[in-house]
Structure 1
Amino acid sequence: MKTKISQADLGQWEKWKTERDPDAGNYLVEKYHHLMDYVIQRFMISLPKTVQKEDIQSYAYEGMLDAIDKFNLDGEFKFETYAAWRIKGAIIDGLRQSDWLPRSVREKVKKVEKAYAVLEQRNGTSASDEEVCTYLGITKAELNKTVSEAALSSMISIDETIQDDENDQVGRYNVIKNEKAESPEAHLYAQLLKESLAKAIELLPEKEKLVVTLCYFEELKLTEIAEVLNLSVSRISQLHSKAMLRLNAAILSVQENY
């Protein structure tokens, strides 16, 4: 259910919507600034060190301004939900436009995902770094470099924005028509995917499983996870990336075998 906006905040919203009052705009940006911080933290766990946090903050700010400008006070969603989506989209668009991940790296990521899928399906256990390196014929350093750049590449591919009927950008997954909706085939596919992901999470090495749990179920920030596990932030980022590669591999297996 939509959260009721206080009278004080509603007054600021109306000033911005009707008058474009700069003070009202500044008030709204400051009030919801924590949303930018939250989304940025969630992204930084997946980004390689080559991406500057200042750039992500700039993209997030653009997303916040866009959300404030386009938010419908009478709409269905809470502003927090709408703004988080807009901020995320702005960051993804900014990263894509900056071409931060070359095609050659994307191809390497796909090869690593494929390696995890083949090895873990074959052995029924989590593939070790050594097994993946041997399978691909690469060094541990090459694997670690690919892992550090891997997680967000799949997210950007899924979240690629397109234009909707009102010339507004939306995520591709939001507008793809589901030809099998409510069909037995769709239900079976969803069930297989759910079971595969559950099994993949269960098979994750203990530290990777902890990072996934703390990140997506407890919703802790990167720095908080590092503190809980008494590890460096960069180590948490690496564990997260490896876990995402394994889970993406599980999805890939279902798609190829369905």
Structure 2
Amino acid sequence: MEYALKTYFKEIRTFPLLTSKDEVELNKKIRKGDEKARKRMIQSNLRLVINIAKRYIHFGIPLLDLIEEGNLGLMKAVDKFDHKRGFRFSTYAAWWIKQGITRSISDQGKLIRMPVYMNELVSKWKKTKEMMAQKLKHIPSDEDIAKKLKVSKSQMEQVNFWLTSQTSSLEAPIGEDDDSQVADLVQDETSASPDIVIKHLLDKEKVDNLLELMTEREREVLDMRFGLADGKTHTLAEVAKKLGVSRERIRQIEEEALKKLRKFVEQQEKELYR
């Protein structure tokens, strides 16, 4: 097993990482059915799968098996990715990779119910994260939270697993239309035109945590504009009428709120390859 891992790691190091421009060009070809482009996109992101899979080795499943499940998620991400949404492939793919891995753990019976001690730690983690975010005015890293709580790296990764397993997947329906999915939020003329930021927020728990950093009015505007609470989106005019202010004022509030979300997205992208 160890030899197989070393051989695999050595092999994937030969595949160069992609620039943002590379991703766009490959995605265009993939959407036209180019299998060579698809293969290159997959190979160049295999290291991302390994980095994510290593976070779940505490659940009794061999690392190679976790990597295999993560690779399936990566392939799905390659097939579904659309560069026109404006964000890096790694940000999008990470969620599909995590979904494949956590689903595998669940299917193999490793995830039955959260142990009492872990439930307490997860609860403490959430509260500490919220407290630190309000004090620092930005989302703290997992390492900073772990240091604050004095927990080990192993415990930190287990907390992240349980948090991930509790959140909605990319395929979770939003609103009343079952065909609409979290990962399929797109800009159009009738609903919110949210900048690319809102499309990064594929994890509902993270959305909820971020909303706690905002003012009550900012939360209210984003809830209505993007349907974060009930899946129903509203135009600027509709929100302005409901809140009794001008459309321009709603636009300004939305812009300020999105700046906060943008910082979070940038942080997530930086942490993917750590």
TM-score range normalised by the length of the shorter chain: 0.3 to 0.5
Q: Return the TM-score normalized by structure 2.
A: 0.44
Considering Cα pairs closer than 8 Å and 6+ residues apart, tell me whether 1 or 2 has the greater RCO.
Answer: 1
